[in-house]
Chains A and B, each alone.
Chain A
Amino acid sequence: MPAGRPGPAAQSARRPPPLLPLLLLCVLGAPQAGSGADTAVISPQDPTLLIGSSLQATCSVHGDPPGATAEGLYWTLNGHRLPPELSRMLNASTLALALANLNGSRQQSGDNLMCHARDGSILAGSCLYVGLPPEKPFNISCWSKNMKDLTCRWTPGAHGETFLHTNYSLKYKLRWYGQDNTCEEYHTVGPHSCHIPKDLALFTPYEIWVEATNRLGSARSDVLTLDILDVVTTDPPPEVHVSRVGGLEDQLSVRWVSPPALKDFLFQAKYQIRYRVEDSVDWKVVDDVSNQTSCRLAGLKPGTVYFVQVRCNPFGIYGSKKAGIWSEWSHPTAASTPRSERPGPGGGACEPRGGEPSSGPVRRELKQFLGWLKKHAYCSNLSFRLYDQWRAWMQKSHKTRNQHRTRGSCPRADGARREVLPDKL
């Protein structure tokens, strides 16, 4: 190979440049005058080592130009010059290096160990791979969206830090027959995940496992056995609507639609609702919403904006006995409760006089009873009907009392008692 190969400009003698696999020549260390290129070789080339182990390396000069020796050579690792006491000349043309207790590689492409001439030019290089073999991946979890696919996630062993590129491969097969298959779509829901988009069988269990491999070894997870029907999830319920319940200031009505993809199968679906006040981060969860598509929230603050979300668990599909997997929450839907019409404490409310039944034990007991109903039967239409009637009656009776006050009188105790008790109680 000619030294100082001319550039294209000099080749304007209209002759196509000779086609040489010069990369091959470069790799074999063809010398080039003045550049120091490949005039030495480091051994070992690209070794793989365990963290904490030692390395003995040598840099041997080729003797080009003639008379070249190892005198004055030095080492760098990732650009840092290594202390001279770590090196020694083995002979006139070879400089040795001893590194102990190696740390994990700084980059996955390998640490750059270089041998330099006295003038600093790079004579040769080798990349060190220092790390750990993979540990067993664990905690595999999988779910199927609408029975059409399967996505699995896992945790790498040793928290994933092997300092070496570690390849994870998700494998699966039908339990009693079939060949091993390898998942191909990785990193779909995070770095350690894979998606199998199609050709999945129902009613027959799969065996799923993860194999981890790097330069220092391999490891295999435990096998997870599952039936697709036991790990089904679906889309969030669409068309979530939140609205007021007439003038009731502490209630909102929530309605939604079954997720369409599975609506013909959701005989036993469960739903969950969560809601929060507009400027709060704390969600309250309504858990016991069974196979219904509406619910009423009660005990809310009047005149307050609430955000509401709903999610679905399609358990019981095709008779599956497993718990099922919750969908994502629906997009938040907001609505506000009506403002309270009752005047505040300092607003001239008619405070009950001593002995008046409005502060009496009957009213207190009624309130307690309805409070209990509210707490234990969020979605019981019957109790809400009763409660609604009572509340509406209470609000009406408050207005009436205020009107009497305006006229300059308060209801007599007996009359008040009668007014407090709604007919249907």
Chain B
Amino acid sequence: MSRREGNLEDPQADSSISPLPHLESKIQQTHSLARLLTKYAEQLLQEYVQHQGDPFGLPGFSPPRLPVADLSAPAPGHAGLPVPERLRLDEAALAALPPLLDVVRRRQAELNPRALRLLRRLEDAARQARALGAAVEAVLAALGAETRGPRPEPAAAAIAAATVTAGVFPAKVLGLRVCGLYREWVSRTEADLGQLAPGGPA
């Protein structure tokens, strides 16, 4: 093997192999994924409000902004944080979303059992949030930034049990909130990765 190709046993032995192109490629891929999921998240929200009936989805509809376990919307100061910190928060939110989306899907399966496309989109969203979260975590690791490490499992069973006994209207509002949070966080992730992507300000 030539010096140009480097030593396979010790990738860092030859500094002519730069990890940067791989990192850039990874960031770009993850950014593209986030952009795609932002579009899907918007579609999910539109599909969701359609099935809940008016006034869900009407302009000016402002249901109570109920807090959701383990997750809030991106804070106003988020954009002012260093990029690695923003990505850590993005990753944490993306990890919290799948069980919430699962709960919403189960409740919607009872309320709107024939809304197959909605149910499929909710299932896909949970998978996509996991995938994007894992990709962001990989980018953070490649950047040498700390990730959050293991976190306690969300109380999905408790949340699910609570929504079953909750009234239908609060369940509809909760679902709207979760879909909204999903859209906000994938959009936020796209913007944060855009700072790192080639051609971005970072």
Contact = CB atoms under 8 A, between A and B. Distances in A.
A26 B170 contact: yes
B162 interface: yes
Nearest to A39: B64
B67 A108 contact: no
Given A122-B64, A125-B170, A78 B54 contact: yes
B172 A109 contact: yes
Contacts of B56: 112
Contacts of A125: 63, 167, 169-170, 172-173
Contacts of A21: 69, 155, 158-159, 162
Contacts of B81: 9, 12
Contact of B152 (A19, A24, A80): A19
B111 A108 contact: yes
Interface string B70-101: 11111101100100010001001100000000
Interface residues of B, number: 52
Contact of B64 (A36, A46, A110, A126): A36
Contact of A9 (B74, B148, B152, B173): B74
Interface string A13-38: 00011011111101100001001111
Contact of B174 (A1, A26, A36): A26
Given A109-B111, A122-B64, A125-B173, A6 B53 contact: no
B167 A8 contact: no
Contacts of B151: 16
B67 A112 contact: no
Given A16-B151, A23-B162, A35-B64, A76 B55 contact: yes
Contact of A5 (B63, B67, B93, B158): B67
B168 A110 contact: yes
B2 to A, nearest CB: 46
B65 interface: yes
A161 to B, nearest CB: 14
Contacts of B173: 125
B68 A127 contact: no
A27 B166 contact: yes
B189 to A, nearest CB: 12
A111 interface: yes
Interface residues of A, number: 46
If over half of B's interface residues share one DSSP class (helix, strand or loop), that class is named, otherwise mixed; here it is loop
B69 A22 contact: yes
A10 interface: yes
A114 B54 CA distance: 11
A97 B135 CA distance: 52
Contact of A46 (B62, B72, B93, B167): B167
Interface string B103-121: 1000000011110000000
Given A23-B69, A76-B55, A110 B111 contact: yes
Contacts of B74: 7-9
A188 interface: no
B72 A5 contact: yes
A121 B65 CA distance: 11
A107 B167 CA distance: 16
A127 B55 contact: no
Interface of A: 1, 5-10, 12, 16-17, 19-24, 26-27, 32, 35-38, 45-46, 76, 78-80, 106-112, 114, 120-122, 124-127, 165, 167
Given A5-B67, A23-B163, A109-B112, 4 more contacts: A7-B72, A27-B170, A45-B167, A78-B53
8 contacts: A21-B155, A23-B174, A27-B166, A35-B65, A46-B167, A79-B55, A114-B169, A125-B173
